[in-house]
Amino acid sequence: MNRKPINRIPPLSAQEMKARGIDGLDFVYISGDAYIDHPSFGTAIIARVLQSRGYSVGILAQPDWHDVEVFRSMGKPRLGFLVSAGNLDSMVDHYTAAKHRRSDDAYTPGGRAGKRPDRAVIVYANRCREAFPHVPVLIGGIEASLRRFAHYDYWDDRVRHSILYDAGADILMYGMGERSVVAIADALDAGVPVHEIRDVPGTCFRVNDPGEVPDAVLLPSYTEVAGDKRRYAEAFKLQFEEQDAIRGHRLIQAHEKGYLVQNPPQAPLSTEEMDAVYALPFTRRPHPSYKEPIPAIDEVKFSITSCRGCFGGCNFCALTFHQGRVISARSHESILKEAREMTKDPEFKGFIHDVGGPTANFRKPACHKQLKSGVCKNRSCIGYERCQNLEVSHEDYVALLKKLRAVPGVKKVFIRSGVRFDYLLYDKSDAFLRELCEHHISGQLKIAPEHIADRTLYYMNKTPHALYEEFIKRYERMNARLGKKQFVVPYLMSSHPGCTLSDAIELAQYLKKIGHRPQQVQDFYPTPGTVSTCMYHTGLDPRTMQPVFVPKSPQEKAMQRALMQFFLPANFSTVRKALKLANREDLIGTGKNALVPPERTREMSAQGTKPQRKREIPPKKEKQAKKSVDKRRRNG
């Protein structure tokens, strides 16, 4: 096949194919998101990468999964179906941490919910198989990536099979998929049967006999991890340890109908490869067929991705399991070119909303050893403890920010993706802190200490509270030096594994002390692929295999949430209950250290109004009423 790069935005319908004179497609891409041709969206990146290699791709965005004919509407793809739930796991997209159904969907025109199914990858993949039984089905994206092994599912409250089995797909691509999808496409284009494509890093496949992969590390089976929580924690520990492109091994896990095999991860993209991806001809807009705005584009349209990966190691975050711990970064020129193109957009008002990634101020690997030997197996680069080999510098990031501010047409460059304050503190230079305070925030800085109790922070793998206090002092000194009044807004989490009621009370006392009143509370959400979710399900810390307290009951979780908003009258009763349970009645009262007032004010409404007095009847009217009652009695 003589392929030429295709630069036009992918078609979304058979009508659009016909209008362009396209008779058939190499791939039909099924996505749970509306199609936005912007590099912040995985569907757009994968489609554009394939186009750049000469493959034709059509997008079935948010198709009606009830009708198999919809999945036949763009014809039989020559090479395969690509299936993704979209930028979010469909269950996270649909449900809150309390398992309440969400009423909106930012990735849908008009922000309406209900345009994708629960467990979208499974539903879409099975519809593809029904539409064209012999066409390869390749699944990927965040939902597939984090569910590649037998995994605990919070919404079902049980261990589910690898999504590769439930979806009935041929290959699962996990992590960043640019290299994987091209390697698979080239193999299929060369006539290699899909069941013979087994050597692509960053992929999973199925076999019937473990002897077919003799070099693999055997994990506890699905049956074992579904029935024994300790075996689940052991399996997760092995999976977590082997997520490295250099030293990672193949993993194999028995399921009821065969064996799941995971190849080691893809190596991170080089700077040149990342630059090439972000240089593709994205329109940075939703597909022109949409008549309603899509909320998800608002925050990212004028944002720039400068890096991928994160060595932060937060236990509640799935990035380690998805993007990996090794940082990939784009060149300055690539980023500046994107900024210059941005200024030509008629809607651009001079403000770049963000320059960052999973962590904004990570622009290089944690240490030079990672590129030669891989990431350490049982050591965190930064977190509750700092690795001695951590190399700290903001020099490159500061230089980049200065160049961006100098681009004609740019008025201000914001940093809104996460800033690791501990990494900032470890830097001997205060150049980045000065740049941040002077140029890149507007009134307040949002950072994520997540908690203030060191016991909880240990289980989160977040830095001890003392470092957060040190950062606040340095931040305030810098703003005073610059003559600015700027504040910190901390992101905090309730009910994380390891967080006791005493820890939650300690957090409430801290919030009262600093005068911070959170308007929203982030409750721990057990999503697939995280250390914290393993703790939540098993009651064990997979790092040490030691027991860990898990606040699971609705009552316990409600008390921890209420303590973070102790100042709301609607929460007074729940907070009192928590304080009594923890033998902390000293915090109930009217003193300056009290969290809630005494119980005698329980008649106050949730709006904080005063208790209603009993209405008194004037003596004259009371006498008239008595005469009326006596008269009725006399008349029977």
Give the whole-angstrom CA distance, residue 357 versus residue 305: 6
| pLDDT for residue 617 is more than 50 | no
Average pLDDT over residues 269-298: 96
| pLDDT for residue 627 is more than 90 | no
**What is the secondary structure of 379-390 as a DSSP string?**
--SSSSS--TT-
| Predicted pLDDT at 601 | 46
Mean pLDDT of the chain: 92
Give the whole-angstrom CA distance, residue 437 versus residue 483: 10
CA 184, distance to chain mean position in Å, is: 27
| Predicted pLDDT at 519 | 86
Average pLDDT over residues 278-292: 95
| Predicted pLDDT at 630 | 42
Q: Give per-residue burial for 265-294: e unless 16+ CB within 10 Å, then b.
A: bbbbbeeeebbbbbebebebbbbeebeeeb
| Predicted pLDDT at 379 | 86
- Compute and round to an integer the Cα radius of gyration of the chain: 28
| Predicted pLDDT at 609 | 46
pLDDT band at 613 (very low <50, low <70, confident <90, very high): very low
| Predicted pLDDT at 521 | 86
| Predicted pLDDT at 442 | 87
| Predicted pLDDT at 603 | 43
Give the whole-angstrom CA distance, residue 569 versus residue 604: 7
Give the whole-angstrom CA distance, residue 535 versus residue 532: 5
Q: Tens of pLDDT along 382-428?
A: 999 999 999 999 999 999 999 999 999 999 999 998 899 999 999 99
Q: Which domains does the chain have, with CATH numbers?
A: 14-203 (3.40.50.2300), 302-442 (3.30.750.210), 448-564 (3.30.750.200), 579-610 (no CATH)
> What CA dihedral angle connects 608, 614, 620 and 624, to 10 degrees?
120
For the entire predicted model, the pTM comes to: 0.91
| Predicted pLDDT at 418 | 87
Going by their DSSP bridges, the two strands 57-61 and 27-31 should be labelled as parallel
CA 471, distance to chain mean position in Å, is: 25
Average pLDDT over residues 90-94: 97
Q: Tens of pLDDT along 136-168?
A: 999 999 999 999 999 999 999 999 999 999 999
Q: Which residues contact 453 (CB under 8 A, 6 or more apart)?
A: 465, 499, 502, 503, 506, 507
Rounded to the nearest 5°, which phi and psi values hold at 410? -95, 120
Helix (H/G/I), strand (E/B), else coil: 491: strand
